[in-house]
Amino acid sequence: MKKSYSKILCMLIAALLVVSFAACGSSGGNSGSKSGGHVAELRIGTTTANDTFNILSQGGIFGRINYIGFVHGNWVYIDENRQVQPYFMTSFNISDDGKVLDFTFPTTALWGDGEPVTGNDVMFTFDFLKNTAKSNYLIHLEKWELTGEGSARLTFSEPDAYQFLLRGAMTVGCIPEHIWKEMVGNPDYGSWTDERAAIGCGPYKLVSKDVDAGVSVYEAIPQNNYAGEITVDKVTIKTYADQTAVLMALQNNEIDCYYAYSSPIDATLIDMVASDPNIDIGESYYAGQNQITFGMTRPAFSDYNMRNAVLKCFDWDLLANVQGGKYGEVPTSNLLAPPCLGFVNTYPKFKQDTAEAEKILNEAGYVDKDGDGFREFPDGSPLDILVVPQYSKDMNLRNRIAEVMMDNLKAIGIKTHIDPEMIANSEIWESNILDGNYDIAIGYTTSGMALGTSTAFRYYVYEPQPGTSRESSWLWGTCQDPEFNSEVWNMIASSSEEEFVSHIKRLQEIFSEQLIGASLGWTKSFFPYRTDAIQGWDNFPSWGVINNKTWTTLKAK
Amino acid sequence: MPGVARQPFGIPPMDKKNAKIQTARHILKKVLTSILTIYVIITISFLMVHFMPGDVIKHLIGTEDYYFLLENNPEELERVITKYGLNDPLHIQYLKYLKSIATMDFGVSYNNNQPVIYNVLKCCKWTLLISVPTLILGGVFGAVLGIIAGWHPGGKFDMIMTPISLFMNTVPSNCIGILMLVVFSYKLRIFPISGVTSGMLTGAEYVKDLMLHMALPLIIMVMFRTFSDFMTMKSSVSQVRREDYTTTAAAKGLPDRKVLFKHVMRNAMLPYITSMCMQMGGLLSGSMIVETIFGWKGMGQLYYQAVTNRDFPTAQLCFLISAVCVVLATLLSDIVIALIDPRIKEKVNA
């Protein structure tokens, strides 16, 4: 029997050894390029799936990296200062009435399959986007025409030209007629899985992919140098299971940088690589934010004194820490985060002052009249604040924020409660938010929305856009101030950058004066990258080092 | 005298033909019960998706786009709703659902616009690549180690293996998974960090690369399966070892090996085989935790992502597959036991 034990043990050890030896020889690699010259290969790690390859789909990392004109040659791009810059449209001009957009495009560009990009492709694109894709940005497009070799004109019935550039810049670009004519009239164009659906006129073409491995490889098309000479010859994108795995891969030199749309590395993880001398954590202000909206159609927060007192009682340092860890910052009273276009940096930062908060409430008549330890309304009726964290995948954080706020409010004698159904059922939550059934709503503005034309102000309007009804709109706000409402809609419909900035500046003033709500903290975004083999990284705030400029600024070290 | 081969209770053997008919009837009854169970599962899965919180159309196109279309292009919104049949009455949607299952048309994934069945089959491949070796290796290792420990309960081997096994059965697989990932992939760099392959490889390179990627998740899953099976087998063997017929066999002077293989093992294998059959029900479900940690693109990870991204069609099919596999595994276990366990045969034929 002893012999049998030995045999079994030996077999087990042998099996383990075989697996271990088979495992020796880990992966790795280097970009290996001449110093100061082109980068032979840029290895990007992501957590987004690498399984959809269609230039008209925003799915997967292929769709997301096309936001920055990678394989899909987008018309324009938005730079780090939120300015619209030429890209496939080599120049553009908007008429004074904002309805006509004249632009030029290159005559030397190539599709990924080697065919030349022609004026007919440009015309076909607008026809396809308008009539098949039913693009939201082209609803008022009336006419599209070539005005010469390499030039064209779009005519809108409304002053939409600027909005088309600003909102459509990331997601639309020229498409090849010789491929997409097959899909004319087919509403399922976005799920077309034909290999040719991945052919675009961006600076790169897809050369191979391994969906099982989550890897796709791209090579430069030197002719499509819309932003300058392309200095990265090859790009490999690999998908990892999660952010921890990406950071491990970055530290092990499996990848050069991280990219994921609107998903920077979490502040709680970034310290994993912060001490590595070969890694820059790619820190910048994040445009997205958590915010509170006061229910101004209900008695408590229709009163400015209550809003003012509540904002003074919050422990702002703790709130900033809850959201951004040691990188979190207390925000200013103008709602926006620093990377937003038109952000004004002169507003005061919030500060906790519970004595002042209590004084305001006492003077306004919110005192404890029945001796239960909590304040009542000035008329003696009970005061019980309904706090509503936004229902979503990330609601744990907002529940924690609610906890901090409720503690702070209790400390100044304000009774609060949460409706358990609202945090357990998205439909109940949403119907209450749409009906304005909340005193303090804790919501979230995504980075994309904050940087777009809607901005966080969109969440505060009560009146619908002129000509539409509240029922068919997506309105969570309760601020009925006519000037605020019209400023928001005018900002969204701006026909130029100057107009947009002027509206957003006025909105910050109104918001800060009336205390309609508040940002709950500025956080940082982290898009880390390696600095040992590649130089020339340009970290766009809230976006990261993989942006429209990446393909022309990177150089080998 | 082997315990299984003879009639241990001394009941006279029945007419063979009649016994076969009775056994077939028993199996048929189990098959019909399983079919009914599967039908109930299908219905529950339909109702579950339709009564869970959240508006399907908003998840499909995104809340922002939903309201944009509602405001600016309601015709397009209506087209999408009609396309997914969300306007139909519930019973029509149910009939369409049953038809889709019969025709294996489970629609398109909300995540990547690919047919759900295509995504699921692809993930099944990767899950089977891990789960089949786990079942076999874990089953063999667990059985061998369990027999050794159970044959000499309280012996050195048992004293070492049982605490280890209890520890392994108590510690969650994610703890061991992350620990091994950090040590072997991140620090020692022996194994890749994540994924099923490095990509763009063929032939022997591909096989070697695949083995490297599957090594850690496989080792962890085999380890957990081994220790779980070890406890089952050990308890079964030590129980049978105390039976009268084992004592009789030993008293007759049969050598230990004969007593173990001819009497103890043949009887101890019955609960073990049942357990193995039941484990087959999990073959296609995958291990959500291990797959998520190692980025192994199997069914567990697919199910996890489908639920977190509210990809209802995919989540529904994953749930169906898991549930049907469990029902089929239970059925298989019933059939196998009915065929090999004389005590069940007696009950059926009585």
Centre a 10 Å sphere on the Cβ of residue B51 and count the other Cβ atoms it contains: 8
Shortest Cα distance from A19 to chain B (angstroms)?
7
pLDDT of residue B62: 66
CA-closest candidate to residue A504, choices A86, A82, A171, A165: A82
Query: What is the rounded radius of gyration, in angstroms, for the C-alpha atoms of chain B?
Result: 26
Task: Tell me the per-residue pLDDT of A98-122, one tens digit each, with 9 for 90 and over.
Answer: 999 999 999 999 999 999 999 999 9
Tokens of A401: 């924020």
Assign A3 a pLDDT band (cuts: 50, 70, 90): low
Q: Is the pTM of this model over 0.95?
A: no
- What's the gap between Cα A17 and its chain centre? 47
Tell me whether residue A541 is in a domain. Answer: no
Q: Identify residue A489 by its one-letter amino acid code.
A: W
Structural domain includes residue A131: yes
Residues of chain A contacting B113 with CB distance shorter than 8 Å = 52, 54, 57, 59, 190-191, 193
> Which residues between 121 and 140 in chain A have a beta carbon less than 8 angstroms from any beta carbon of chain B?
134, 136, 139
Number of domains chain A is built from: 2
For A185, the 3-state DSSP assignment is coil
pLDDT, tens digit, 9 for 90 and up, residues A200-241: 999 999 999 999 999 999 999 999 999 899 999 999 999 998
Give A124-159 as a DSSP string: HHHHHHHHTS--GGGTTEEEEEEEETTEEEEEESSS
Rounded Cα gap, residues B71 and A25, in angstroms: 58
In the predicted structure, residue B83 carries a pLDDT above the cut 80 = no
User: By C-alpha distance, which of A58, A549, A64, A394 is closest to A260?
Assistant: A64
Tell me the chain A residues in contact with residue B68 when contact means C-beta distances shorter than 8 Å. 136, 474
Q: Do residues A170 and A62 both lie within one domain?
A: yes
Question: Which residues on A lie below 8 Å from B257 (Cβ)?
Answer: 1
Buried b (16+ CB within 10 A) or exposed e, A213-234: bbbbbbbbbeebbbbeebbbbb
Chain A residues inside the 8 Å CB shell of B292: 241-242
- A274 located within any domain: no
Residue of chain B nearest A393, judged by CA positions: B308
Same domain, A183 and A58: yes
Mean residue pLDDT of chain A comes to: 90
pLDDT over threshold 50, residue B7: no
CA A551 – CA A71 distance, rounded (Å) = 12
Residue A45 to residue B23: CA distance in whole angstroms:
58
Residues on chain B touching A60 (C-beta within 8 angstroms): 112
Locate the domains of chain B by residue range.
112-341
Burial A352-375 (b: 16+ CB within 10 A, else e): beeeebbebbeebebeebeeeebb
- Tell me how close the Cα of B91 comes to any Cα of chain A, in angstroms: 23
* Spatial contact of A436 and A478, defined as CB atoms under 8 Å apart: yes
- Residues 136..195 of B with a Cβ closer than 8 Å to A: which? 141, 144-145, 148, 157, 181, 184-186, 189-195
341-400 in A: which are within 8 Å (CB) of B? 393
Token pair in block for residue A223: 């002719």
Residue from the list B73, B112, B190 with its beta carbon closest to the beta carbon of A49: B112
Nearest to B200 among A59, A215, A245 (CB): A215
Measured between its terminal Cα atoms, the distance across chain B in Å is 24
Q: How near does any CA of chain B get to the CA of A426, in Å? A: 5
Asked whether residue A147 is domain-assigned, the answer is yes
For residue A152, what is the domain's CATH number? 3.40.190.10
pLDDT at position A59 is 82
Chain B positions touching A22 (Cβ under 8 A) are 208, 211-212, 215
User: E strand or H helix at B146, and its extent?
Assistant: helix B116-151
Cα separation, A207 vs A216, in Å, equals 8
| Alpha-carbon gap, residue A140 to B72, rounded angstroms | 11
Chain CA centroid to CA A36, Å: 33
B281 against A54, higher pLDDT: A54
One-letter amino acid for residue B109 of the chain: S
Residue A533 lies in a domain: no
Judge: A240–B308 Cβ closer than 8 Å, yes or no.
Answer: no
Tell me if A257 is assigned to some domain.
no
Check residue B259 and report its DSSP letter.
Answer: I
Amino acid at B180: M
Question: Which of A195-199, B87-91, B223-227 bottoms out in mean pLDDT, i.e. has the lowest?
Answer: B87-91
Mean pLDDT, rounded, of chain B:
85
In this structure, the answer to whether residues A305 and A230 fall within a common structural domain is no
B10 in A contact zone (CB under 8 Å): no
Q: Are A239 and A214 in contact (CB under 8 A)?
A: yes
pLDDT tens-digit readout, A134-172: 887 888 999 999 999 999 999 999 998 988 888 776 678
What pLDDT is attached to residue A450?
Answer: 86
Question: In DSSP terms, which residues pair with A522 in a beta bridge?
Answer: A329
| pLDDT at residue B8, rounded to an integer | 46
Residue A463 lies in a domain: yes
Tokens read off for B117:
């069945």
B227 vs B223: CA distance, rounded Å: 6
Q: Is the pLDDT of residue B75 over 80?
A: no
Domain that holds residue A130: 48-239
Q: Do A241 and B195 touch (CB under 8 A)?
A: yes
Q: Between residues B107 and A313, which one has the greater pLDDT?
A: A313
- The single-letter code of the amino acid at B206 is Y
Q: For residue B38, with 0-12 CB atoms within 10 Å meaning exposed, 13-18 middle and 19 or more buried, which class applies?
A: middle
pLDDT of res. B349: 65
- Short-list A171, A208, A193, A174, CA closest to A58: A171
- pLDDT > 70: what percent of chain A? 93
Structure-token match 């659902």, residue found? B97
Residue in B closest to A424 by C-alpha = B53
Smallest Cα distance from A351 to chain B, Å: 33
A555-556 and A283-285: which strand pairing? unpaired
Residues A230 and A311 reside in one and the same domain: no
**Which position has the token pair 């991204």?**
B309
Residues A225 and A297 in one domain: no
Q: Class for domain B112-341, per CATH?
A: mainly alpha
For the segment A457-492, what is each residue's pLDDT rounded down to a tens digit?
999 999 998 888 777 677 889 999 999 999 999 998
The verdict on A229 and A355 lying in the same domain is: no
Q: Which residue of chain B comes nearest to A215, CA vs CA?
A: B199
**pLDDT, tens digit, 9 for 90 and up, residues A338-349:** 999 999 999 999
| Same domain assignment for residues A125 and A226 | yes
- From B53, B71, B157, residue closest to A427, measured CB to CB: B53
C-alpha span between A189 and B98 (Å, rounded) = 28
Residue A286: CB partners within 8 Å, gap ≥ 6? Answer: A264, A337, A339, A447, A522, A523, A524, A525, A542
3-state secondary structure of A40: coil
Res. A377: pLDDT tops 70: yes
The nearest alpha carbon in chain A to B298 belongs to A212
Say what percent of chain B tops pLDDT 90.
39
Structural domain includes residue A249: no
Contact A224, A552 (CB under 8 A): no
Instruction: Indicate whether A251 pLDDT > 60.
Output: yes
What pLDDT does B217 receive?
A: 94
Kindly state the DSSP code that residue A197 receives in the 8-state scheme.
G
CA-based Rg of chain A, rounded to a whole angstrom?
27
Distance CA A144, CA B29 (A): 70
Which of B55, B67, B84, B112 should be substituted to probe chain A, the one whose Cβ sees the most A Cβ atoms within 10 Å?
B112
Lookup: tokens for A466: 């002129």
